[in-house]
């Protein structure tokens, strides 16, 4: 038996549209799934409480700041652990994850620091018809991530959220360039580590009538909040919102690359 474990870390805030499916699709991939709810105002926390009562390997926390999600996984530095970063708007292929778990626990990727998989950044979703239209990675940016914590000693100054920013202290012989881009090796249909990224869809029942499709990341909000002066901070906030409204923000530039394609997604929403 492999000496490794797989720990999922999920940071959620107002995700009640997709969060249940997101959790159910990864729950058997993870030995433990840590869900951190960052002050949700919709039904997200209640849904997660229900799921935690159903699955014994869910660890549920309410947090006041996104950085707490980084602090929660700090005990896993320098341990035989794969850390799986998953969000409430990421619906993974559960059948594919069965193969991915087998490969991980058979030490297939032992010398790799970070693994990136295939993504469809969804612009339109037809659950009844089992289809989704969106933008594939590549050429769009991949958001699927697995981190090998056995090759790091520490992660310093991670001040926004889990697995973002800061300085990683690697063990001798390892470095951040040890990355595996599975999406460059496998097409969407053959991929076993793939997900639907619903970033352009309403993620919360509170978002149904939103004019702006994308949300700001915690690090973007942190940057705006750290700007000195009320006027400058307000101007930065309005500029960010204008970019999102015009679809010129970071997410639209990174996740709308390439052609708009249609894919069969019935495997992601099993009955």
Express each pLDDT in 220-245 by its tens digit: 666 767 788 877 877 776 777 777 77
Q: What are the residue ranges of helices labelled H in the chain?
A: 19-26, 44-54, 68-72, 94-105, 182-185, 218-225, 230-245, 250-255
Predicted local distance difference test score (pLDDT) of residue 209:
62
Q: Using CA atoms, how far apart are residues 35 and 81, in angstroms rounded to an integer?
A: 17
Residue 151 lies in a domain: yes
Residue 158 lies in a domain: yes
Say which CATH number the domain at 128 has: 3.90.550
Domain count of the fold of the chain? 1
Overall average pLDDT of the 262-270 stretch: 95
Other Cβ atoms within 10 Å of 69 Cβ, number: 27
89 is a domain residue: yes
Q: How confident is the model at residue 243, as a pLDDT?
A: 75
Residue 191 lies in a domain: yes
Residue 248 in any domain: the answer is no
Confidence band of 248 (pLDDT split at 50, 70, 90): confident
Q: Is residue 23 part of a domain?
A: yes
Nearest to 139 by CA among 105, 94, 188: 188
Q: The domain containing residue 13 runs over which residues?
A: 5-204+262-268
The whole-number pLDDT of residue 208 equals: 67
Domain for residue 24, yes or no?
yes
* Residues 35 and 10 sit within 8 Å (Cβ to Cβ): yes
Residue 217 lies inside a defined structural domain of this protein? no
Question: What b/e string do you get for 45-68 counting C-beta neighbours within 10 Å, with b at 16 or more?
Answer: bebbeebbeeeeebebeebeebbb
What span, in angstroms and rounded, lies between the C-alpha atoms of 112 and 153?
Answer: 15
Q: How far is CA 197 from the centre of its chain?
A: 8
């Amino acid at each position: 038996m492999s000496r490794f474990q797989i720990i999922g870390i999920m940071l959620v805030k107002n995700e009640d549209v997709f969060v249940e499916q997101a959790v159910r699709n990864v729950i058997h991939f993870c030995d433990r799934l840590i869900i951190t709810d960052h002050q949700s105002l919709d039904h997200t926390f209640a849904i997660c409480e229900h799921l935690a009562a159903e699955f014994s390997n869910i660890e549920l926390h309410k947090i006041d700041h996104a950085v707490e999600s980084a602090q929660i996984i700090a005990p896993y530095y320098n341990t035989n652990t794969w850390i799986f970063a998953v969000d409430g708007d990421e619906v993974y292929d559960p059948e594919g994850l069965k193969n991915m778990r087998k490969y991980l626990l058979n030490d297939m990727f032992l010398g790799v620091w970070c693994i990136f998989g295939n993504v469809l950044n969804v612009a339109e979703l037809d659950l009844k018809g089992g289809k989704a239209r969106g933008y594939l990675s590549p050429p769009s940016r991949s958001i699927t991530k697995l981190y090998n914590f056995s090759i790091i000693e520490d992660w310093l100054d991670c001040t926004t959220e889990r697995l973002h920013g800061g300085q990683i202290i690697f063990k001798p012989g390892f470095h951040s360039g040890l990355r595996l881009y599975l999406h460059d090796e496998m097409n969407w249909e053959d991929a076993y580590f793939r997900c639907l990224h619903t970033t352009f869809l309403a993620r919360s029942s509170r978002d149904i009538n939103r004019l702006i499709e994308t949300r700001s990341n915690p690090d973007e909000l942190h940057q705006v909040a750290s700007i000195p002066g009320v006027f400058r901070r307000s101007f930065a906030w309005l500029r960010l919102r204008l970019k999102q409204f015009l679809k010129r923000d970071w997410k639209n530039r990174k996740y709308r690359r390439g052609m708009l394609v249609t894919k069969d997604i019935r495997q992601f929403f099993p009955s």
